[in-house]
Chain A
Amino acid sequence: MSKLNKILIIIGGIVLIFAIVVIFWPKKEIIIEKKVIKTIPASVVVIPTQDKTPIYSTTGAKLTILPDDQYKLMTLIYTLRQSCPINNEYFSIIYDYKFDNFVVTIKPENMETFLQWKKDTGYNEIMDKYWVIKND
């Protein structure tokens, strides 16, 4: 074995040991403090199938078949509108018939609870333009 080879073996061994040390060196546990979101009981709104059966009319009425996404949106809005006014300890919602939007009165610290509720119910699919947020 030549001198050069020996040197290389030693260097390789050192590098290997260094690598093993780095890999298996005990790590400091990182503790992430989970933020607790207060939630309110909610269930997902069930969207009934759109009734596409043509209607029989003798005065000239036809049913407009809405695109599926439009139908889903309108049904969500209708369902929430029928639930209004909503009042709980975190926020309140009313429907403004003049501007056709939901007015949410809420404190900033409860915003996440509201968003979580929207997500849990499926109302998060109602676009932002239909919501007006007011600070309580």
Chain B
Amino acid sequence: MANDIEVRRRVDQITWNSSFDEINQLIKYLDANGFTVDDFPKLREIVVYVYEGGGRNGENPGMEDDIAKFLGKTASKEIKNKLTKRKLDALVEEFLEADIKRKSEIADEIQEIMDNFKSKYKLYNEVQQFIFKQREIREKLDKELSDDVLDGEFEQQVVAEMDLYQKSIDISIPTSIEDFAEEMALLGADEEDKRYIKELVMKVVNGEKIPKGVNEELIRLETEIFVKKNKIQVEQIKIDNLNKKFELLIENTPDGKKDLIIQYRDAISKLNSANIPNLSDASNYAESALHDQIPSPGKRKQLFENVKILIQTVYTKPKDFNAIVGASKNLVSSGFDMSLLPNISEVRSFQELMSVVNSDQTLVLGLQKVAYLKIQSVQKIGQFVSKFPGGSKLVGSVSEMIGGTAIKEFLTASMTVIAEQGSVKGTLAILNGIVAGSTATAEAGGSASLLAALAPLAEVPVIGWVVLALAVVVIIGGWLIDKAIKFAEKVGKWMYDNMGIDLLAVKNFVADKLNLGNFVGWAAQITFNGVVSIFGTALSLGIGMMVALMPLLIGVMFIGGFLYGAFFNNAMISSLVPPPPMAVGGTCEPKGGAEESGTINCNQDAPKNETGINKDVFADTATRWRPSGTNYAKECFDDTVNRALCAKVNPQFALWVWLHESGASNYGLDNVEDFGIHGNQSVPAKNYDLQIRAFLNLDPASKCIKDSKILESSEPNKYWLALATNFLTGGCDPEKGILQSDGSMMTGKRYLKEELEPQWGWIKTGSLPANIHVPKGGSQCDGSKTDRPDNEYTRPDGVVMVCDGPVDENGNFIGSAGGGAFDPTSPPLVGEIVEGECSVSKSVVLTKQCGQAWSNKGLPGGSGTICSAGCGPSSVSSIVRTKNGSYTPDTIIFEAGSPYDSMDGGGSSLGQAQESLTKHGYTAGNLGICSQKDIANWICAGKAVIILADSYTGNGGNYIGHILPVVAVSGGKLITKDPYYSNTTPFVTGSGIVAGQIKELRQCLTIDLKSD
């Protein structure tokens, strides 16, 4: 199997100009390596394009077959249906020319295609269209051919197809989730399949993750279509499911707090039942648009949930929203442990929303109220104006601002803003944007997009009445224009007919002879008449026409100016809130994607601690304790010990619990709870990280050590009796029995005597200590940067986090905010001088692609950010900024005539850097291969060198392509000003590989630093 890098490399070779052969080869290659084209959105676009376009060069060697096979695997319904449609069309076309025998074969083929779809209604349209065409054919045949040409077999075939057609239209679309699930379940071969399909349907309905697979994907697509058509019912089911998730918690909560939890649950339900626009399409759009920018699916989902609940918020009546906030506050102030709430996305999103409210309640409630009123007013104005002829067209884009096509941009931009600024700042910025039309964070790409998405809406609250007036003006204006033109035409015709003078000669010439259309023709005629009038030639004729057209001119100017002012001039509307702080940095997430249960998530590179416990012996014990399945005793041993020491917990105790409860995370066992944390929905089974975090926060003995039942017990070791009792039962009665999975009853006392005491020595010889507490030990308890590249750090709990830019050991982004838009008067920056024998570093300003104000700006090609793909323009910026400090990477990319104007997440080349530097007056040399010696000599000749190299990403030997400037020679080493890595000595010196060091030089570009 090829590794990911190799696969990616192969995928990146496919371009819009690639041939069918190349694409087919890649599809086979992906298939052989367990990938699908759907794993690579850009490739998918190319495949669809090439397929739909029928090929760029007219070549088509077996392409459709391969594509069809591939599509069968990826189950992309949209493409699949198009393919089917094309096949059907082709067959019908062929049918027209075919002989009787072939006609019969074609009918068979069509039947076969339709049989491939067990659920006939999927092909409703295709079948319908085919039948219609066939009817035409039949009629044609009836007319043109004699009766004996149509033999009996063909007649039967036609009848059969007509029956099929009839059946297809008889299939009723299911109207309930249950019916739909039943319908889908028919696809299953046996009962187990059917049950599985029903489960999948319900998971999709509830927005839960489903397993990957062709059939699963088909079911997801079908279900989403159904959900889209049956939104209200689906929402109700979600609310019912939400209530179910709370059932267990409510049952186990004391009466005093039960009502508060119910209120809290109802508050979430209330928000979820808000009548918001359909977000299905927008969600898919955002998913695709942000795929590269936010690679983690889990992160994207959470961001979507954040924005969704925000939309629900602004669609909820302020009075209701106040009650919702009150319910949340009541539960929090009651001292309820919020971590006990169900760990589901609705709750998580709601809690994040409440964090926003808590940041400034007065402000948020105020913004919510204004936003709600604004949206309502937009909708009402829209509804009113729509009643006028043409009105719906006018207000369409405004009234559907949140609820129409623009919702895609709104959702995508909002997700970006929250990703950039976090949920609190991001949500405030979006609310501010809805209310005031200004996000006040123009430097952030997401905010700028959001601003653009909200532009029409921004005008409405202040000039709501203007929208109405505008509608009237346009309607009346349109009438006037129409009348004026008709009048002018009549005058022109009369003069031509009666006097032989063609007043509309110019218009007719431009519109008809030049084929530029009537609008341009009229514009030319008006201009001509104006000139004629000014110079006095044919004065009467000119004036005649000008009089006729004057209302048109005035109307156009008036309405055009009005429209321009209303829609395109971003009026300065005072903001209700101060702008949120400028975004610096980005976000971090667990390396390898969101944390999920079922896969081990300990820190396998955790620091080692000497405790006298042998890892191998422990692992052997774990294997013997739970022989079936596979444990993670060796992989997570160091992490368990280190975390326990950091938490001042005896590591032997942690290891014993881990061993006893789960056989050291033996995930081969059903629903195994790594550290025995049970009944807390925030701490799922098979989740090492969450389990140990919860476990190390427990102090079971302290809860019962003073309890009379413990004190009165005959057991001499009160501490451990209290601990065993509370850990086992959650209570303090050592005689209370708990039903075990094998059907036996276990008490706290027995747990101590029969399990804890005898098994303690399994870990390390010796008797039970006085208690589980030890002095704080371990290392990297506060997070770490050891062996991590600039953009990663190890969280205190051992989880490796990967961030959008360079961070310190606690995940704080390093770097200061940079400049914004280009300022021609901005002074030059001076580079930090690197001491050495030869240096041009004073002429190169260290310019980081990440952790700066520009870092999260989206690239013009639609994917990626400067942080993720801006090493090229950042390197150029580092040189040009010494001439003018405002030439930051974003300016380099977005300035007029930039060679980066279509750059996307795929990055840029040295060729583009060469072009950009030349544009800025620098003499860039030829682009070619070079050696370290060459670079040193060039620097000593006063030149900077931007190189393309294979750079190591860490000490593991992996490497990536990277562009960076080299600026000095010092002590025999080259010195860089790397836009991404902190490393400055790019070539491995023998003391081990460091991230950013260079494996291989690929290309060099010299720059004479004396610009024009």
* A60 & B12 in contact (Cβ 8 Å cutoff): no
* A98 & B942 in contact (Cβ 8 Å cutoff): yes
Q: How far is the CB of A84 from chain B (nearest CB, A)?
A: 10
Bitwise, A49-87 to B at CB < 8 A (1) or not (0) is 000011111111111101000110011011001100000
Given contacts A57-B907, A59-B849, contact A97 B962 (CB under 8 A): no
Which residues 932-974 of B sit at the A interface, judged by CB distance below 8 A?
933-934, 937-938, 940-943, 948, 950-951, 953, 960-963
Partner among B934, B961, B1002 whose Cβ is within 8 Å of the Cβ of A97: B934
* A75 & B925 in contact (Cβ 8 Å cutoff): no
* A100 & B925 in contact (Cβ 8 Å cutoff): yes
User: Which residues of chain A have C-beta atoms less than 8 A from B980's C-beta?
Assistant: 59
* A82 & B931 in contact (Cβ 8 Å cutoff): yes
Given contacts A59-B907, A62-B907, contact A53 B9 (CB under 8 A): yes
User: Which residues of chain A have C-beta atoms less than 8 A from B12's C-beta?
Assistant: 54, 56
Complex Cα distance, B938 from A78, in Å, reads 13
Task: Confirm or deny: B906 has a beta carbon within 8 angstroms of a beta carbon on chain A.
Answer: yes
Partner among B938, B940, B941, B960 whose Cβ is within 8 Å of the Cβ of A56: B960
Complex Cα distance, B174 from A118, in Å, reads 82
* A75 & B929 in contact (Cβ 8 Å cutoff): yes
Size band of the interface chain A makes with B: 20 to 34
| CB-nearest residue of chain B to A81 | B934
| CB-nearest residue of chain B to A48 | B929
Q: How far is the CB of B18 from chain A (nearest CB, A)?
A: 12
* A58 & B872 in contact (Cβ 8 Å cutoff): no
Complex Cα distance, B932 from A82, in Å, reads 11
User: Which residues of chain B have C-beta atoms less than 8 A from A58's C-beta?
Assistant: 868, 953, 960
Among A59, A63, A71, residue most surrounded by chain B Cβ atoms (within 10 Å): A59
* B929 & A78 in contact (Cβ 8 Å cutoff): yes
Complex Cα distance, B871 from A60, in Å, reads 6
Complex Cα distance, B910 from A62, in Å, reads 8
Given contacts A97-B940, A98-B941, contact A59 B963 (CB under 8 A): yes
Partner among A59, A75, A82, A97 whose Cβ is within 8 Å of the Cβ of B928: A75
User: Which residues of chain B have C-beta atoms less than 8 A from A53's C-beta?
Assistant: 9, 13
Q: How far is the CB of A57 from chain B (nearest CB, A)?
A: 4
B-side interface residues, number (CB < 8 Å): 47
* A55 & B961 in contact (Cβ 8 Å cutoff): yes
Given contacts A64-B1003, A97-B937, contact A59 B926 (CB under 8 A): no
Task: Confirm or deny: B680 has a beta carbon within 8 angstroms of a beta carbon on chain A.
Answer: no
Partner among A59, A78, A81, A95 whose Cβ is within 8 Å of the Cβ of B960: A59
Task: Confirm or deny: B927 has a beta carbon within 8 angstroms of a beta carbon on chain A.
Answer: yes
Which residues 894-917 of B sit at the A interface, judged by CB distance below 8 A?
905-911
Q: How far is the CB of A69 from chain B (nearest CB, A)?
A: 12
* B1002 & A60 in contact (Cβ 8 Å cutoff): no
* B871 & A74 in contact (Cβ 8 Å cutoff): no
User: Which residues of chain B have C-beta atoms less than 8 A from A64's C-beta?
Assistant: 909-911, 927, 948, 1003
Complex Cα distance, B953 from A65, in Å, reads 24
Complex Cα distance, B905 from A74, in Å, reads 29
* B869 & A56 in contact (Cβ 8 Å cutoff): no
Task: Confirm or deny: B930 has a beta carbon within 8 angstroms of a beta carbon on chain A.
Answer: yes
Which residues 5-62 of A sit at the B interface, judged by CB distance below 8 A?
53-62
User: Which residues of chain B have C-beta atoms less than 8 A from A55's C-beta?
Assistant: 9, 948, 950, 960-961, 1002
Complex Cα distance, B960 from A59, in Å, reads 8
* B907 & A74 in contact (Cβ 8 Å cutoff): no
Complex Cα distance, B157 from A48, in Å, reads 64
Q: How far is the CB of B173 from chain A (nearest CB, A)?
A: 46
Task: Confirm or deny: B864 has a beta carbon within 8 angstroms of a beta carbon on chain A.
Answer: yes
User: Which residues of chain A have C-beta atoms less than 8 A from B928's C-beta?
Assistant: 66, 71, 74-75, 77-78
* A63 & B909 in contact (Cβ 8 Å cutoff): yes
User: Which residues of chain B have C-beta atoms less than 8 A from A61's C-beta?
Assistant: 871-872, 907-909, 948, 960-963
Q: How far is the CB of A42 from chain B (nearest CB, A)?
A: 22
User: Which residues of chain A have C-beta atoms less than 8 A from B926's C-beta?
Assistant: 70, 74, 77, 100
Given contacts A54-B12, A64-B909, A74-B928, contact A59 B962 (CB under 8 A): yes
| CB-nearest residue of chain A to B980 | A59
* A56 & B927 in contact (Cβ 8 Å cutoff): no
User: Which residues of chain B have C-beta atoms less than 8 A from A97's C-beta?
Assistant: 934, 937-938, 940-941, 943
Which residues 588-612 of B sit at the A interface, judged by CB distance below 8 A?
none
Given contacts A78-B930, A97-B940, A97-B941, contact A62 B906 (CB under 8 A): yes
Q: How far is the CB of B871 from chain A (nearest CB, A)?
A: 4
Complex Cα distance, B134 from A57, in Å, reads 54
* A54 & B9 in contact (Cβ 8 Å cutoff): yes
Complex Cα distance, B184 from A80, in Å, reads 71
Complex Cα distance, B997 from A81, in Å, reads 25
Complex Cα distance, B961 from A59, in Å, reads 7
User: Which residues of chain A have C-beta atoms less than 8 A from B934's C-beta?
Assistant: 78, 81, 97
User: Which residues of chain A have C-beta atoms less than 8 A from B908's C-beta?
Assistant: 60-62
* A59 & B9 in contact (Cβ 8 Å cutoff): no
User: Which residues of chain B have C-beta atoms less than 8 A from A98's C-beta?
Assistant: 941-943
User: Which residues of chain B have C-beta atoms less than 8 A from A95's C-beta?
Assistant: 937
Complex Cα distance, B980 from A63, in Å, reads 18
Partner among A63, A81, A82 whose Cβ is within 8 Å of the Cβ of B1003: A63
* B1003 & A60 in contact (Cβ 8 Å cutoff): no
Q: How far is the CB of B46 from chain A (nearest CB, A)?
A: 14
Task: Confirm or deny: B870 has a beta carbon within 8 angstroms of a beta carbon on chain A.
Answer: yes
Among A55, A61, A66, residue most surrounded by chain B Cβ atoms (within 10 Å): A61
User: Which residues of chain B have C-beta atoms less than 8 A from A74's C-beta?
Assistant: 926-929
Task: Confirm or deny: B5 has a beta carbon within 8 angstroms of a beta carbon on chain A.
Answer: yes
Q: How far is the CB of A128 from chain B (nearest CB, A)?
A: 15
Task: Confirm or deny: B8 has a beta carbon within 8 angstroms of a beta carbon on chain A.
Answer: yes
User: Which residues of chain A have C-beta atoms less than 8 A from B508's C-beta?
Assistant: none
User: Which residues of chain B have C-beta atoms less than 8 A from A63's C-beta?
Assistant: 909, 948, 961, 1002-1003
Complex Cα distance, B528 from A94, in Å, reads 70
* B870 & A60 in contact (Cβ 8 Å cutoff): yes
Q: How far is the CB of A93 from chain B (nearest CB, A)?
A: 15
Which residues 846-877 of B sit at the A interface, judged by CB distance below 8 A?
849, 864, 868-872
Complex Cα distance, B953 from A48, in Å, reads 28
Given contacts A78-B930, A97-B937, A97-B943, contact A60 B907 (CB under 8 A): yes
Q: How far is the CB of A68 from chain B (nearest CB, A)?
A: 13
Complex Cα distance, B928 from A75, in Å, reads 7
| CB-nearest residue of chain B to A79 | B929
| CB-nearest residue of chain A to B7 | A56
Complex Cα distance, B823 from A124, in Å, reads 48
Task: Confirm or deny: B1006 has a beta carbon within 8 angstroms of a beta carbon on chain A.
Answer: yes
Q: How far is the CB of B659 from chain A (nearest CB, A)?
A: 40
| CB-nearest residue of chain B to A78 | B929
Q: How far is the CB of A25 from chain B (nearest CB, A)?
A: 62
- 17 A-B contacts (beta carbon < 8 Å): A55-B9, A55-B960, A55-B1002, A56-B12, A56-B960, A57-B907, A58-B960, A59-B849, A59-B871, A60-B868, A60-B906, A61-B908, A61-B960, A63-B961, A63-B1002, A64-B948, A97-B934
Could you tell me which B residues sit within 8 Å of A by CB distance?
Answer: 5, 8-9, 12-13, 849, 864, 868-872, 905-911, 925-931, 933-934, 937-938, 940-943, 948, 950-951, 953, 960-963, 979-980, 1002-1003, 1006
With A64-B927, A97-B938, A98-B941 already in contact, 8 other A-B pairs whose C-beta atoms are closer than 8 Å: A55-B948, A57-B869, A60-B868, A60-B871, A60-B905, A62-B872, A74-B926, A97-B943
Could you tell me which A residues sit within 8 Å of B by CB distance?
Answer: 53-64, 66, 70-71, 74-75, 77-78, 81-82, 95, 97-98, 100
Q: Which 9 A-B pairs have the closest CB atoms?
A: A60-B869, A60-B907, A74-B928, A55-B961, A57-B961, A61-B961, A64-B911, A97-B941, A98-B941
